[in-house]
Amino acid sequence: MHSTLSFSRATTVPTTNYAFHSQSPINLRFCGLRREAFGISILTRSSSGRVRLSTRGRSKRISASTGNNGTPPKSFDYDLIIIGAGVGGHGAALHAVEKGLKTAIIEGDVVGGTCVNRGCVPSKALLAVSGRMRELQSEHHMKALGLQVSAAGYDRQGVAGHANNIASKIRSNLTNSMKALGVDILTGFGTIVGPQKVKYGKVGFTDNVVTAKDIIIATGSVPFVPKGIEVDGKTVITSDHALKLEFVPDWIAIVGSGYIGLEFSDVYTALGSEVTFIEALDQLMPGFDPEISKLAQRVLINPRKIDYHTGVFATKITPARDGKPVIIELTDAKTKEHKDTLEVDAALIATGRAPFTNGLGLENINVVTQRGFVPVDERMRVIDANGNLVPHLYCIGDANGKMMLAHAASAQGISVVEQVTGRDHVLNHLSVPAACFTHPEISMVGLTEPQAREKAVKEGFEISVAKTSFKANTKALAENEGEGLAKLIYRPDNGEILGVHIFGLHAADLIHEASNAIALGTRIQDIKFAVHAHPTLSEVLDELFKSAKVLDMKTLRKMKS
Amino acid sequence: MQTQLGSAVFPRLLRRSLSYIPSILYSLHSLLNLFHFFRFLSNSSPQSQKHKEMASPFLSNTIISFSSSLSSSSSLPRLAPSIPFSAIRSKSTPRRILTVRSKIREIFMPALSSTMTEGKIVSWVKSEGDVLSKGESVVVVESDKADMDVETFYDGILAAIVVGEGETALVGAAIGVLAETEDEIAEAKAKAASKSGASTPSAPPPAPTPAAASTPAPPKSTPAPAAPTVAEGPRKTVATPYAKKLAKQHKVDIESVVGTGPYGRITPEDIDAAAGLSPSKKNVGLAVVVETKPAAPAKAPAASAAPSSLPPPVPGSTVVPFTTMQSAVSKNMVESLSVPTFRVGYPVTTDALDALYEKVKPKGVTMTALLAKAAAMALAQHPVVNSSCKDGKSFTYNSNINIAVAVAINGGLITPVLQDADKLDLYLLSQKWKELVEKARAKQLQPQEYNSGTFTLSNLGMFGVDRFDAILPPGQGAIMAVGASKPTVVADADGFFSVKNKMLVNVTADHRIIYGADLAAFLQTFSKIVENAESLTL
Of A140, A275, A345, the CB nearest to B241: A275
pLDDT grade, residue B49 (50/70/90)?
Answer: very low
The architecture that CATH gives domain B105-194 is: Beta Barrel (2.40)
- Residue A495, marked binder: no
- Residue A398, marked binder: yes
> Would the pLDDT of A264 be above 90?
yes
Fold of B338-536: Chloramphenicol Acetyltransferase (3.30.559)
pLDDT grade, residue B448 (50/70/90)?
Answer: confident
**Runs of H (alpha helix) within B267-401:** 268-274, 324-336, 351-360, 367-381
Amino acid at A199: K
Residue B135: predicted pLDDT: 78
Of B22, B147, B242, the CB nearest to A305: B242
| Max mean pLDDT range (A454-458, B204-208, B445-449) | A454-458
**Spatial separation of the C-alpha atoms in residues B177 and B164, rounded to whole Å:** 12
Residue B411: predicted pLDDT: 66
% helix / strand / coil in chain B, to the nearest 5? Answer: 35, 20, 45
What are the chain A neighbours of B147 within 8 Å (beta carbons)?
Answer: 294
Is residue B146 within 8 angstroms of chain A, CB to CB?
yes
Q: Give residue A294's Cα distance to chain centre.
A: 21
Strand B455-459 to B478-491 pairing: parallel
> Would the pLDDT of B266 be above 70?
yes
- Residue A404, marked binder: yes
pLDDT grade, residue A434 (50/70/90)?
Answer: very high
Residue B505: predicted pLDDT: 94
> Would the pLDDT of A22 be above 80?
no
Minimum mean pLDDT range among A216-230, B303-317, B452-466, B496-510: B303-317
Strand A389-395 to A381-383 pairing: antiparallel
Residue A271: predicted pLDDT: 93
Amino acid at B516: G
Q: Which of A95, A141, A425, A534 is catalytic?
A: A534
pLDDT grade, residue A521 (50/70/90)?
Answer: very high
B93 min Cα distance to partner chain A (Å): 27
Residue B277: predicted pLDDT: 72
A306 min Cα distance to partner chain B (Å): 5
> Would the pLDDT of B263 be above 70?
yes
Rounded average pLDDT over A449-458: 95
Domains assigned to chain A:
78-223+354-421 (3.50.50.60), 236-351 (3.50.50.60), 429-560 (3.30.390.30)
CB contact (8 A) between residue A276 and residue B241: yes
Closest CA relative to residue A404, chosen from A350, A355, A452: A355
Q: pLDDT tens across A342-359, in order?
A: 999 999 999 989 999 988
> Would the pLDDT of B422 be above 50?
yes
CB contact (8 A) between residue A291 and residue B236: no
Is residue B442 within 8 angstroms of chain A, CB to CB?
no
> Would the pLDDT of A6 be above 80?
no
Which of B313 and A402 is assigned the larger pLDDT?
A402
Q: Give catalytic status of residue B511 as yes or no.
A: yes
Q: Using CA atoms of B207, B212, B216, B218 in order, give the dihedral in degrees to the nearest 10.
A: 180
Please provide the average confidence, as pLDDT, over all residues in chain A: 86
A4 min Cα distance to partner chain B (Å): 41
Residue A316: predicted pLDDT: 94
Q: Give residue B1's Cα distance to chain centre.
A: 42
Closest CA relative to residue A432, chosen from A2, A7, A1: A7
Of B14, B20, B263, the CB nearest to A483: B14
High-pLDDT (> 90) share of chain A, %: 70
Residues 6+ apart with CB under 8 A from B334: none
Chain A, chain B: beta-carbon pairs less than 8 Å apart = 52
Rounded average pLDDT over A241-247: 91
Of B144, B244, B265, the CB nearest to A307: B244
Delimit the CATH 2.40.50.100 region(s) of chain B: 105-194
Phi, psi of B501 (to 5 degrees): -80, 125
CB contact (8 A) between residue A140 and residue B147: no
Phi, psi of A519 (to 5 degrees): -60, -40
A518, A532 contact by CB (below 8 A): no
Q: pLDDT tens across A357-394, in order?
A: 988 999 999 999 999 999 999 999 999 999 999 999 99
Residue B92: predicted pLDDT: 41
- Residue A221, marked binder: yes
pLDDT grade, residue B437 (50/70/90)?
Answer: confident
| Max mean pLDDT range (A64-68, A197-201, B223-227, B318-322) | A197-201
Residues 6+ apart with CB under 8 A from B218: B253, B256, B292, B313, B317, B318, B319
Residue A73: predicted pLDDT: 61
Minimum mean pLDDT range among A155-164, A339-348, A515-524, B87-96: B87-96
Q: pLDDT tens across A111-165, in order?
A: 999 999 999 899 999 999 999 999 888 888 888 888 888 778 889 999 999 999 9
Which of B296 and A181 is assigned the larger pLDDT?
A181
> Would the pLDDT of B227 be above 50?
no
ipTM given for this complex: 0.75
Residue B235: predicted pLDDT: 55
Q: pLDDT tens across B480-495, in order?
A: 999 999 999 988 888 8
Query: Hey, which residues does B388 pair with through a beta bridge?
Result: B396
Which of A87 and B38 is assigned the larger pLDDT?
A87
CB contact (8 A) between residue A343 and residue B242: no
CB contact (8 A) between residue A305 and residue B19: no
Residue A372: predicted pLDDT: 92
**Spatial separation of the C-alpha atoms in residues B54 and B406, rounded to whole Å:** 13
Rounded average pLDDT over A206-215: 91
Which of B31 and A510 is assigned the larger pLDDT?
A510
pLDDT grade, residue B370 (50/70/90)?
Answer: very high
pLDDT grade, residue B57 (50/70/90)?
Answer: very low
CB contact (8 A) between residue B263 and residue A325: yes
A545, A528 contact by CB (below 8 A): yes
Strand A306-310 to A274-279 pairing: parallel
B144 min Cα distance to partner chain A (Å): 8
Closest CA relative to residue A428, chosen from A7, A110, A24, A93: A24
How distant, in Å, are the alpha carbons of A11, A12, A274 from that of A92? 9, 12, 41
Q: pLDDT tens across A141-151, in order?
A: 888 888 888 77
Which of A308 and B118 is assigned the larger pLDDT?
A308
Of A305, A324, A483, the CB nearest to B17: A483
> Would the pLDDT of A31 be above 50?
no
Phi, psi of B132 (to 5 degrees): -110, 140
A453 min Cα distance to partner chain B (Å): 20
Residue A552: predicted pLDDT: 80
Rounded average pLDDT over A288-314: 92
- Residue A190, marked binder: yes
Give this prediction's pTM: 0.57
**Spatial separation of the C-alpha atoms in residues B203 and A505, rounded to whole Å:** 41
Please provide the average confidence, as pLDDT, over all residues in chain B: 70
Residues of chain A whose C-beta is under 8 A from some C-beta in B? 140, 250-251, 274-276, 291, 294-295, 298-299, 302, 305-307, 324-325, 341, 343, 345, 469-471, 482-485
Query: Hey, which residues does B469 pair with through a beta bridge?
Result: B39
Whats the size of chain A, residue-wise?
A: 561
What are the chain A neighbours of B265 within 8 Å (beta carbons)?
Answer: 251, 343
**Spatial separation of the C-alpha atoms in residues A400 and A41, rounded to whole Å:** 7
- Coil, strand, or helix at residue A277? strand
**Spatial separation of the C-alpha atoms in residues B160 and B195, rounded to whole Å:** 11
Rounded average pLDDT over B148-170: 81
% helix / strand / coil in chain A, to the nearest 5? Answer: 35, 25, 40
Which B residues, 232 through 261, put their C-beta within 8 Å of a C-beta on chain A? 236, 238, 240-242, 244-245, 261
- Residue A124, marked binder: yes
Which of A43 and A278 is assigned the larger pLDDT?
A278
Residue A162: predicted pLDDT: 93
Whats the size of chain B, residue-wise?
A: 538
Residue A344: predicted pLDDT: 95
pLDDT grade, residue B113 (50/70/90)?
Answer: low
Rounded average pLDDT over B227-250: 70
Closest CA relative to residue B268, chosen from B294, B245, B287: B245
Rounded average pLDDT over B353-360: 90
What are the chain A neighbours of B22 within 8 Å (beta carbons)?
Answer: 140
Residue B478: predicted pLDDT: 95
Of B14, B238, B240, the CB nearest to A295: B14
**Which one-letter DSSP state was computed for residue B388?**
B
What are the chain A neighbours of B14 within 8 Å (beta carbons)?
Answer: 295, 469-471, 483-485
- Residue A331, marked binder: no
- Coil, strand, or helix at residue A82? strand
Is residue B24 within 8 angstroms of chain A, CB to CB?
no
What are the chain B neighbours of A145 within 8 Å (beta carbons)?
Answer: none
- Residue A127, marked binder: no
High-pLDDT (> 90) share of chain B, %: 21
Delimit the CATH 3.30.559.10 region(s) of chain B: 338-536
How distant, in Å, are the alpha carbons of A406, A465, B127, B185 from that of A520? 21, 21, 45, 58
CB contact (8 A) between residue B241 and residue A307: yes
B18 min Cα distance to partner chain A (Å): 10
> Would the pLDDT of B30 be above 60?
no
Rounded average pLDDT over B362-367: 88
